[in-house]
Amino acid sequence: MSGAGPEIVFEGPHGRTDFATFVARARRAQPGGAVRLQRIDGLLVTTVAVLEGSGLIGEGAVLGMRIVPVAEGSPIDVVVSFASVADRLARPGATALSVPPMTVQASWAGLSPPRTGWEPVGSIAGEDVDRIATQGISDVAAGTPEGGAGGPAVDALRKRVWGAMSDTAPPIVAGLAFGAHLLGFAGAGVPATLAANGRWTRLTTPRGHVLAH
């Protein structure tokens, strides 16, 4: 799809900077990846994949989400590459983002977390979230061949590490902690609340949401 894209106007330059930081952090996990942008009733819902999952139902997917107020406008729901967003963020514009006209395909974008019906299941300290994430990162690094070679064995290792349940009460899947750590949602003194809805589990802090499927 091509042509001039719509514009998203943030509530001041801080909003645009915050959006740029979120996208940059997500891009570390998926350098060639994409971001889903949804403008709904004056809110920008920005969703990224920390872990893409597998199979028809996206088992093991972990999504990061931030919701911020923006100027009213026509509804938007597009998936665009990180590279195209970064290109537009590099252009002058203190409070606006020109939506890239070229969309991309991303299997995880077909996963739509429910908006309602969430049931609270407890909370977890920010320190524990970071501990789980850093331990997982260490385990993946230790099991990855020198030079960072990929392959099925490393993919299986990552799936095993990030699919493991934590020793906390309540327990969480390690991928949730990884997402919160990577996206800057967790940290000392930043408690996280947990909620569930069917196959979905959501970890929420004042900085954003991470959802495991």
Per-domain boundaries in the chain: 7-110, 119-212
Q: Contact at 8 Å (CB) between 188 and 126?
A: yes
Q: Contact at 8 Å (CB) between 63 and 203?
A: no
Question: Quick one: average pLDDT of 137-162?
Answer: 85
The secondary structure of 22-40 as a DSSP string is HHHHHHHH-TT-EEEEEEE
CATH for the 7-110 domain, from 3.30.565.10, 3.40.50.300, 3.20.20.150, 3.10.150.10:
3.10.150.10
Q: What does pTM read for this prediction?
A: 0.92
Question: Quick one: average pLDDT of 197-202?
Answer: 96
**146 pLDDT more than 80:** no
Confidence label for 57 from pLDDT (cuts 50, 70 and 90): low
What is the C-alpha R_g of the chain?
A: 17
d(CA 202, CA 212): 6
Give the 3-state secondary structure of residue 11. coil
Q: Contact at 8 Å (CB) between 152 and 143?
A: no
Strand partners of residue 63: 49, 211
Q: What is the pLDDT of residue 150?
A: 61
**1 pLDDT more than 50:** no
Q: What is the pLDDT of residue 4?
A: 57
Confidence label for 29 from pLDDT (cuts 50, 70 and 90): confident
Question: Quick one: average pLDDT of 146-171?
Answer: 87
pLDDT in tens, 31-51: 999 999 999 999 999 999 999
Q: How many CB atoms lie within 10 A of CB 188?
A: 9
Confidence label for 136 from pLDDT (cuts 50, 70 and 90): very high
Q: Alpha helix locations (H) across 90-173?
A: 126-143, 152-163
Question: Quick one: average pLDDT of 89-117?
Answer: 91
Q: What is the pLDDT of residue 133?
A: 97
Q: Look at 39 and 112; give whichever has higher pLDDT.
A: 39
**3 pLDDT more than 60:** no
Q: How many CB atoms lie within 10 A of CB 21?
A: 13
Q: What is the pLDDT of residue 149?
A: 58
Q: Contact at 8 Å (CB) between 66 and 24?
A: no
d(CA 131, CA 122): 18
Q: Contact at 8 Å (CB) between 209 and 186?
A: no
d(CA 132, CA 169): 13
Question: Quick one: average pLDDT of 106-132?
Answer: 95
d(CA 170, CA 145): 33
Backbone angles phi, psi at 134, to 5 degrees: -65, -35
pLDDT in tens, 85-95: 999 999 877 78
